[in-house]
Amino acid sequence: MTSLATLNLALRALQRNKMRSILTMLGIVIGVGAVVAMVGIGNGAKSQVEAQIATLGQNVILIFPSSYSSGGVQSGIGGAGTLKLEDAKAIEAEVPDVVAVSPGTRVSSQLNYGNQNWSTSVIGEAPEYFEIRQWEIVDGAGFSEQEVRSAAKVAVIGATVARQLFGEEDPLGQIMRVKHVPFQVIGVLKPKGTSVMGSDQDDVVIVPYTTVMKRLSGTTNLRMISVQCTGEDRMAAVVDGITELLRQRHRLSGDRENDFMVRSQQEIAEMATATSKVLTLLLGAIASVSLIVGGIGIMNIMLVSVTERTREIGIRIALGAHGTDIMRQFLIEAVTLSSLGGTLGILLGLATSTLLSRFAGWPTLTSVNAIVIAFLFSAAVGVFFGLYPAKKAAALDPIDALRYE
Amino acid sequence: MASVIQLDHIWKTYRTEDVELHAVRDVSLQIAKGEFVAIMGSSGSGKSTMMNIIGCLDRPSKGTYQLDGIDVSTLDRDGLADIRNQKIGFVFQGFNLLTRTSAVENVELPMMYSRTTIPSRDMRRRALKALDMVGLSQRADHHPNQLSGGQQQRVAIARALVNEPALLLADEPTGNLDTRTSIEIMEVFQTLNDQGITIIMVTHEHDIAQYNKRCLVMRDGVVRSDTPVVDRSSAKAQREALEVHAAGGGPKA
């Protein structure tokens, strides 16, 4: 029997018991719909995190001072104050494939302009910082090497600060006070939005690092060193190079723990996406359970169908059908049922995730891959759960089957 | 004339736990082309088992069976299926048509399972021709539940004929039919036999056996008698007589 004739046969058999076919399909429809919608939600969350990671910059490696334990008492991250300006200079000079280095310091401070005030963090960086983080200055310019050397009182401000402190006024060239020290605003940054950690990245004032050290905080400890390397493929080597150099500089021998942390952008991305990956997996797994339940429903109905049609099977075998013909007939029926359910399920899933993103505001992202996999999986469910009933049908003895009432 | 069926020392033994039951014991039989044979016997005589063996639905425990020159006693399941498909046309007591499938599609069924693919246009043409042979070409699109018992059995006969088998095998073909319809069906068989088709028919009714040319009687798994039918009935003549009677032209009973 040709495949087309068999498919035709299957469709007619399913049409004959419309209600039963629809109810059986419903299990698969809900299963596939759930998988598609859940994966859409998971992927949406992941892509949102990835977009935030991209705001870090390109090929960026970040170095933090690590916690420091003394007699069983651990200080918080950065508490050790182990990163020094000299470390940053050494990395720039000695580690190969490093493009730019910016030593970072920070101080929390209140800003004043006219009768307005605003509390934010003031960070000190090198001029390269804007390049490393791919942070465009939309208005004005950044500070120069010369201004770093002279610890100039110049500031580049984030979009949030510009709005809160200056309102409608043009901040460029204005003098604002940071801890009562007057600073001239020389640039306004392009908005970056929320960070991975959920904080407002635009709520910031960036000044030369020397200015923070000499005029604002008085400490020479670094909060962070930002490093940009030549390419993604060099990241691992640069991380190793930095680790080795800093261990040497900090005189850490043998198995003593690092007193600093080196994190490449990929690692940060991986850490941040790990949660959403687990979420996607978990949601997918729960949804798959309903797909399996749907498959069992198909198996159940196919077994009923084989019993009901014992006589028909007997006739077909008596007239010359091979076992494989019978098996194919029932298998195609099961697969038709499951893949039809799969197709409807995909539509249901897409509709669900569209509604979720439109009305609940959840970021959803449906990938073609997920849809193709869901469809193939539903067809596979049909094969897997249809195989046993089909085999049972094919193994029937024609004499007994013809006598079956 | 060449034998269509050649059975040599056929045994069929069923084993249930420690009891051996011989359904067929050492039967040897030849049936030539163009014969019209009735197999009679009460239930338990082994005639159904013989029927299943001749119909290649079952295999003998011992002995050899040649059908149309092919030794079928050694074939496997699929081999037997192909023999049934190509060499044997089945007509059953309960018609065994697929319900909710039109008459012509029922007749096409054996061609669907031919190992050589037949174009669907040829299938339809051959099926309609077979329906024409049993006088049902007008009802090709009717479903079995729209047909009378006699008409359903004609569809079944058309289905049996469509692959031009060497042998037509009928199992109590009139068992579910009234006398008048039985005569009509026997007329179809007699006509087909006159055209040279070999027919074997299992029945327990003497009247029906009278339409055949040869009669085998089985008892306890052996063939008790094998005789030519004397005073053979003509279904055509009987039907015509009935029609005259029904029209009121015949003598009163």
Mark residue A130 as left, alpha or beta (left: phi above 0; alpha: psi -120 to 50; beta: remaining): alpha
The token pair at B109 is 């069924």
The B residues from 40 to 59 touching A (CB cutoff 8 Å) are 52, 55, 57-58
Instruction: State the smallest CA–CA distance between residue B103 and chain A in angstroms.
Output: 15
The token pair at B158 is 């058309």
Does residue A68 have a pLDDT over 60?
A: no
- Cα(A42)–Cα(A362) distance, integer angstroms: 10
Cβ pair B92:A16 closer than 8 A = no
Helix (H) or strand (E) holding B21: strand B19-32
**Per-residue pLDDT tens for A308-339?**
999 999 999 999 999 999 999 999 999 999 99
- Cα(B49)–Cα(A42) distance, integer angstroms: 65
pLDDT at B253: 43
- Cα(B66)–Cα(A16) distance, integer angstroms: 42
- Cα(A301)–Cα(B43) distance, integer angstroms: 37
Cβ pair B112:A1 closer than 8 A = yes
pLDDT at A288: 80
When CB atoms are compared, the residue of A16, A319, A402 closest to B109 is A319
Does residue B59 have a pLDDT over 70?
A: yes
The answer to whether B181 and B150 are in contact (CB under 8 A) is yes
Quote ipTM for the complex.
Answer: 0.92
The answer to whether B73 and B59 are in contact (CB under 8 A) is yes
pLDDT at A80: 55
- Cα(B125)–Cα(B136) distance, integer angstroms: 14
Q: How many degrees, rounded to 5, is the angle at CA A61 between CA A59 and CA A67?
A: 160
Q: Does A73 reach chain B within 8 Å, measured CB to CB?
A: no
- Cα(A115)–Cα(B106) distance, integer angstroms: 96
Nearest-10 crossing angle of helices A265-308, A323-355? 130
- CA B32 to centroid of chain Cα atoms: 15
Q: How many CB atoms lie within 10 A of CB A244?
A: 12
Cβ pair A322:B78 closer than 8 A = yes
Q: How many degrees, rounded to 5, is the angle at CA A294 between CA A292 and CA A296?
A: 75
Instruction: State the smallest CA–CA distance between residue B250 and chain A in angstroms.
Output: 43
Nearest CA in chain B to A312: B98
Task: Grade residue A48 by pLDDT with cuts at 50, 70 and 90.
Answer: confident
Instruction: State the smallest CA–CA distance between residue A340 and chain B in angstroms.
Output: 23
Collapsing DSSP to helix, strand or coil, B92 comes out as coil
Nearest partner of A309 among B80, B173, B96, B55, judged by Cα:
B96
The token pair at A148 is 């770093």
Q: Please provide residue A113's backbone torsions phi and psi, each rounded to the nearest 5 degrees.
A: -145, 120
Task: Grade residue A34 by pLDDT with cuts at 50, 70 and 90.
Answer: confident
Instruction: State the smallest CA–CA distance between residue B44 and chain A in angstroms.
Output: 16
When CB atoms are compared, the residue of B81, B112, B114 closest to A317 is B81
Q: How many degrees, rounded to 5, is the angle at CA B248 between CA B243 and CA B251?
A: 95
Pick the range with the lowest mean pLDDT from A93-97, A268-272, A400-404. A268-272
Task: Evaluate the CA torsion angle A282, A287, A288, A289 in order and state its sign.
Answer: positive
Whole-angstrom CA distances from B127 to A315, B148, B196 are 17, 19, 20
Amino acid identity for residue B113 in this structure: Y
The A residues from 371 to 400 touching B (CB cutoff 8 Å) are 398-399
Q: How many CB atoms lie within 10 A of CB B129?
A: 14
The A residues from 296 to 355 touching B (CB cutoff 8 Å) are 311-312, 314-323, 325
* Site of tokens 């029945």: B203
* Site of tokens 């001029």: A127
- Cα(A305)–Cα(B184) distance, integer angstroms: 36
- Cα(A250)–Cα(A262) distance, integer angstroms: 14
Pick the range with the lowest mean pLDDT from A315-319, B129-133, B244-248. B244-248
Judging contacts by C-beta atoms under 8 Å, the chain B residues touching residue A322 are 77-78, 81, 113
For the domain spanning B3-246, the CATH number is 3.40.50.300
Q: What is the mean pLDDT of residues B13-30?
A: 90
Burial category of A3 from C-beta neighbours within 10 Å (exposed 0-12, middle 13-18, buried 19 and up):
exposed
Q: Mutate one of B43, B57, B105 to test the A interface: name it (highest A CB count within 10 A).
A: B57
- Cα(B155)–Cα(B178) distance, integer angstroms: 17
Judging contacts by C-beta atoms under 8 Å, the chain B residues touching residue A405 are none
Top pLDDT among A53 and B103 is at B103
Q: Does B126 reach chain A within 8 Å, measured CB to CB?
A: no
pLDDT at A250: 87
Top pLDDT among A349 and A362 is at A349
When CB atoms are compared, the residue of A2, A311, A320 closest to B110 is A320
Q: Please provide residue B142's backbone torsions phi and psi, each rounded to the nearest 5 degrees.
A: -75, 150
When CB atoms are compared, the residue of A16, A317, A320 closest to B100 is A16
Q: Please provide residue A149's backbone torsions phi and psi, each rounded to the nearest 5 degrees.
A: -60, -40
Instruction: State the smallest CA–CA distance between residue A389 and chain B in angstroms.
Output: 20
Judging contacts by C-beta atoms under 8 Å, the chain A residues touching residue B159 are 319
Cβ pair B85:A320 closer than 8 A = yes
Judging contacts by C-beta atoms under 8 Å, the chain A residues touching residue B113 are 1, 316, 319-322, 325
pLDDT above 90 as % of chain B: 72
- Cα(B31)–Cα(B167) distance, integer angstroms: 10
Nearest CA in chain B to A324: B78
Size of interface A-B (CB pairs under 8 A): 50
- Cα(A25)–Cα(A30) distance, integer angstroms: 9
Q: Please provide residue A169's backbone torsions phi and psi, each rounded to the nearest 5 degrees.
A: -70, 150
**Per-residue pLDDT tens for B139-191?**
999 999 999 999 999 999 999 999 999 999 999 999 889 999 999 999 999 99
**Per-residue pLDDT tens for B27-50?**
999 999 999 999 999 888 989 899
**Per-residue pLDDT tens for A168-219?**
889 999 999 998 899 999 999 998 887 767 788 899 999 999 999 998 888 8
Q: Does B117 reach chain A within 8 Å, measured CB to CB?
A: yes
Q: Where are the beta strands (DSSP E) in A42-129?
A: 60-65, 69-70, 73-74, 98-113, 116-125
Task: Grade residue A74 by pLDDT with cuts at 50, 70 and 90.
Answer: low
Q: Please provide residue A236's backbone torsions phi and psi, each rounded to the nearest 5 degrees.
A: -60, -45
Whole-angstrom CA distances from A109 to A104, A112, A119 are 16, 10, 6
Which residues on adjacent β-strands are paired with residue B94?
A: none
Whole-angstrom CA distances from B27 to A223, B144, B175, B213, B221 are 104, 38, 26, 20, 8
- Cα(B223)–Cα(B103) distance, integer angstroms: 37
When CB atoms are compared, the residue of A314, A321, A402 closest to B113 is A321
Q: What is the mean pLDDT of residues A125-145?
A: 90
pLDDT at B249: 57
- Cα(B105)–Cα(B158) distance, integer angstroms: 11
Helix-, strand-, coil-residue percentages of chain B, each rounded to 5? 35, 25, 35
Tell how strand A116-125 and strand B222-228 pair up. Answer: unpaired
Q: Mutate one of A319, A326, A327, A403 to test the B interface: name it (highest B CB count within 10 A).
A: A319
- Cα(B139)–Cα(A101) distance, integer angstroms: 92
Mark residue B198 as left, alpha or beta (left: phi above 0; alpha: psi -120 to 50; beta: remaining): beta
Domain ranges in chain B are 3-246
Q: Mutate one of B75, B76, B93, B109 to test the A interface: name it (highest A CB count within 10 A).
A: B109
- CA A83 to centroid of chain Cα atoms: 31
Q: What is the mean pLDDT of residues B201-217?
A: 93
pLDDT at A103: 93
Q: Mutate one of B52, B54, B84 to test the A interface: name it (highest A CB count within 10 A).
A: B84
Numbers of helices and strands, H then E, in chain A: 13, 12
When CB atoms are compared, the residue of A2, A321, A398 closest to B57 is A398
Q: Does B112 reach chain A within 8 Å, measured CB to CB?
A: yes
Does residue A248 have a pLDDT over 80?
A: yes
